[in-house]
Each structure stands twice: as C-alpha cells, then as structure tokens.
Structure 1
Amino acid sequence: MTWQPNPDRFDLVQHRRLGNSGLQLSPLTLGLWQNFGENVAFERQRELVRTATDLGITSFDLANNYGPPAGAAESHFGRLLASDLAGHRDDLVIATKAGWRMGPGPYQFGGSRKYLISSLDASLARMGLDYVDIYYHHRPDPETPIEESMQALHDIVRSGKALYVGISSYSAADTRRAHEILADLGTPLSVHQPSYSMLNRWIESDGLVETCGELGIGMVGFTAMAQGLLSGKYLDGVPEGSRAATDGSTLPADEAEKTVATVRALNSVAERRGQSLPQLALAWALRDTRMTSLTIGASRPEQLEQNVAALANIEFTDDELAEIDSIANDTEGIDRWAGARTSTQEA
C-alpha cells in the first residue's frame, strides 16, 4: 500500500509566524545535517521524513554541503519529494543554505555572488525543485562585501528561485546591516538561523534576540541540544570515545566535570516538570515566540516522537526560569560557531 501522510497532521502542532512575514513554520523543523548522507540507509531516512510529516512537522532544513558526501542530503530528499511526498510540495517549507565549504575549488565557499547563485542552482537540481521556500547565507564571509552577498539574495528572490531569504550565524550588528541593505533593495530579510541552547546564549548577550524582534526577523534556532550535551547521554559523565570527549568537540576537556554537573542540575528541573532533559531543552529554547522554530536532528523515529511531545509543555514559571539561569550561567567554550561570526564590518 502506498504511504499517505497522516490526514490530521496539521492539527497536531501550532505553527508560528516567521517574524513579520506571512509565512508560518512548525515549531520544530527536521534538519537533514548528519543523518541523510550515504552513511545512513535510505530506508531509515525515509522513515524519519515520514514520521516527521505524520507528527505535523512541515519544515525541512538542508544545506548544499550536508551529507556525507556533500550534496547527498539534498539528493536523498529529492528522491523522497518525487516519491513519498509527491503531491505535497505546497504543504512543505523547504530551506537550504550555502556559505560553508562545498568543494575544494575557490568558488565553493563564502558569500560571493558566484557561489550563492550557482550553489542554489545545484541544490535545486539535486532536489528536483524549481524553487526553495527559504534560502540562507550559511555564515558571514569577511572576505566578501556584505552588499554583494545581500544583492545576490535579493536577485535570487527576484528570479523566483527562493520565496524568502535569511542569514545564519550573523552577529546582531551584521544582521542589522544585512536587513538595511535588503530593505533598500526591496527584499525583506525574513529569518535568522542562530545556534542557541541553555548552554549557548550568545544571541541574548549579543543583542540578536532584540534586534530580530525589532526588525521583524524570525529566528530558527539550531543545536538546542548543545551538540548532544543536553540529550541525556552525559548524565553519568562523558564516556571515552564519545563526541563530547573528542578533540574539536563543543566540550573542552577541562570543562567536562563542571558541564556534567550543570547537565545533571538541569535534568532535575526537567524531572520536576515531567519532562526529559531533551524535552526541557526544546521547551526552553521555544519559550520566547520570537524563536519561530528549532531545527532538530534525529536518528530514530522515537526521538522525533519524544521531541514533538515537548511542545505540550513550553510554559515556564518565573521561578523555573530563574533556576535555569542560576544553573546554566557559564557557557564559555560551548559555542563552536563563535568563530563564524567574524564581523563583516570594519571596527
């Protein structure tokens, strides 16, 4: 029997408006970063997309370099668009990005007009689409004038190849500048995709939350689980060989003991709320309606079911918020994307 999406899926989650735009997103977005490459069986990918759809998730987040190898996630998602999701394109919000390295050549990285436009053409071909709903510049590029990158995004909207455009990992100051340039060109900057979690609050200290709220820019956060630190896997410590214990992880070796203590304390808050630690992490990151959606990954359908269940309890008392603030108050070293926010503007 041919699979058909759950007919009641649109009643399962309450969608949120993306900033001042007319677009609404499901509060959780399925990210295809690490589990949609050649290293994961295609049937497992199909199962994840089907489960997400049946649970009411309508937003899917990709990038040109997601795999491995680079491009594989878009190609695999394109297969699902042509089969399982055929006839449902208008029920989906599909986003992709370019900015991080796609290949070894000089035109496979950054924010140049050449890279942003050619990369989108390749992404559309891999997915078998005429347009994406959202196209992001994946990271600021200090080697390219911000005016050039924003002009490319404006022209992409004018060409019809993207309906909305956004940026990712830009500082508050650069976000304001990008918004100003696009507004002068006649294209709204609709969305910013920042990293954000209880252990990584740079968007608060940098003023990005207030900037996006003031300018009507929606936010779609990623790494609400702090790259696995809030997944519950480290409540008994950091096992040898785990991602958090390896070189280049989000958790410096000298921070491990303190971070595990923090995670345990947060888990106690979650238990009192009747949630798992991952559910607390998602609920907390969605507590402010300026955060339109959170991009989440999953390796099993059960994870998606548990994550969606977090949406049933995203209200916090003032005492709960104060307790979380007192527990998670030292986040130095947790934000692995800090280096990407090198300002495009001269000091």
Structure 2
Amino acid sequence: MYLLTTNFDNLHRVLRTLYTEMMPLCGDMAGVARGIAGLGALFYVAYRIWQSLSRAEPVDVLPLLRPFAVGVAIMFFPSLVLGTLNGVLSPIVSGTHRIMQTQTLDMNEYRAQKDRLEYESMRRNPETAYLVDKTIFEERLDELGVTDAAEICGMYIDRAMYNTKRWFQEQFRNLLELLFEAAALVIDTIRTFFLVVLSILGPVAFALSVWDGFQSSLTQWLARYVSIYLWLPVSDLFSAVLARIQTVMLQRDIEQLSDPSFIPDGSSTVYIIFMLIGIIGYFTIPTVANWIVQAGGGGTYYRNVTHTAAQTGSYATGAAGATAGNIGGRLLKR
C-alpha cells in the first residue's frame, strides 16, 4: 500500500498548491469590497456625527475609526489578513503533521517486525512451515512416495487454502486502507474549497461589517476561517492517535510472537476494526474543530455536516461489513 499512500500524498499536495494559487483571486474582489465599504463608511460616520450634533454632544472620534481600519484591511487583504492568519496557524499544522508522521513511522516499523516474526513463527512449526515456505513444501513432497498420494493432495489443498485466505485478507485490508485514505482526502478537499471561498469573498465580508447590523460578519468570518483551517491539524492528531493505538497493539503481538511456543493465527481483526473506526471518525473532524473555535452563526451548518458525516460513516460501515461477510467466516477471527 506504499504506492497508494504516495498517490494520496500527491493529491493532498495538489490541494495545498490549489489553495496557494487561488489566493491572488481575493484581490479581484477588493475593488468591489472597497466600494461597499466606502459607502458603508459614509453612512456609518454620517449617522453618528449627526446623532451627536442633534443631541448637542461631543463627537466620539474613536468609534469612527473602525470603518477606516476595516478599509485598510480590505486594501491589503491577501498580505495583512490572510498572511497573518496563515502565519499564525501554520505552525500548528506543521506541529501536528510531525506528530502524525512520527507515530506512522513507528507503526510501519512495528508492522514490518510483526510480519517477519509471524513468518518465522509459522516456519518453526513443522505443521505450518510448508504453508509459508515453498522450499520446505517441496522437500516434504520429495520425502513422500507414490503411496502417499492422499497426503500430497491434502498438502496442496492446505497450501492453496492458506494462500487464498491470505490473499483475501490482503485485498480486504487494501480496500479499508483505500477507504481510509479516501475519507481523509474528502475532508481535505472540502476544507480547501471552504478556505478558498472564504478567502476570495473575505473582502466582501469585511466590507459588509462596516454597515450597521452586519458588524458580526467580520468576527464570524474570522471564527469560521480559523475553525475550518484547524480541520487539518485535527485530522493529523486523529491519525496519530489511531497509529499510536495500533503501535501499542503491534508491540503486544511482537511480545507474543517472541515466545517460541506461540502459534499465530495469521488474522488481522484488530487492525481492520481500527480502520473502520478511522473511516467513520474522519467525518467527525468538523465537529471537533468547531469545539476549539466557536464559529458564531454556524450552528445549522455544523449540524448538517455532522448529520452528513453520520450518514456517510454508516454507509461506509455497511459497505465494509458486507464485504467482510462475503470474504468468509474465519477471515476476521482473532
């Protein structure tokens, strides 16, 4: 599955490049946003000045500076706003990605060690050595004569059944890993789309915040941008947790396989279970990110995302369960 993982890594890098390449487009909306903000600033300032004059009160200048500060942010939106936010949040993404890579590398090392010990354990056992080692299988055939035709036939059948079982296990594991990587890609694609939309239309949201009654547009935009940006760190942490759990289980299996008297069954039930958990869990990432940053006004949206995630997870579990049922009864026996 190394080639599959590499291909998905390339797709994730394409999404990063897409986001970077589309950032200059937010400058095209700056002209429209400046017009909206300028007209809003005119009404904003005029209303407060005339209100103070009508009441014979001194004019409070500090609140009148807000539209001009928003106007400066609109004029330099790509560098001042997006550059600052991405610069602050990028170390979080880098840190969580390093954590995920560390745990994944450990898991791959332990998995390779477990496979090697499992092979050696089955090779030590005279009853199973011919199943995994072709040389031993041929030596046992040479030792048998013509009168042992039934035993020879049984050996061929046992080896064929063992190879078939291993093939089905490998294909089912590949299927789950494909679904796991696809779930991560779906979350990353939706995240990139949301960030691109928020970035391109960000100047308009800032411009609308100048108008009375729309002041919350600015804070809502900031909260939603940060919340969606954190989808990737949360996803990396989730992958790191799953990798750590699998690492601990692999360590336990390695300890058992180190015992010469232990005979493995060659199944991977626990691994398959955690792959299913990972597929479903990926679709809860938007909800977890919303716990970190409360995006005001997004309650309905996040309820819809959570509902869709639950449905998608149910479909994925049902499909995987159906596939498991078709594979056979002892495939998942641990």
Q: TM-score range by the shorter chain?
A: under 0.3
Report which of the two structures shows the higher radius of gyration computed on alpha carbons: 2
**TM-score (norm. length: structure 1):** 0.19
Q: Which has the higher strand share?
A: 1
Q: Which has the higher helix share?
A: 2
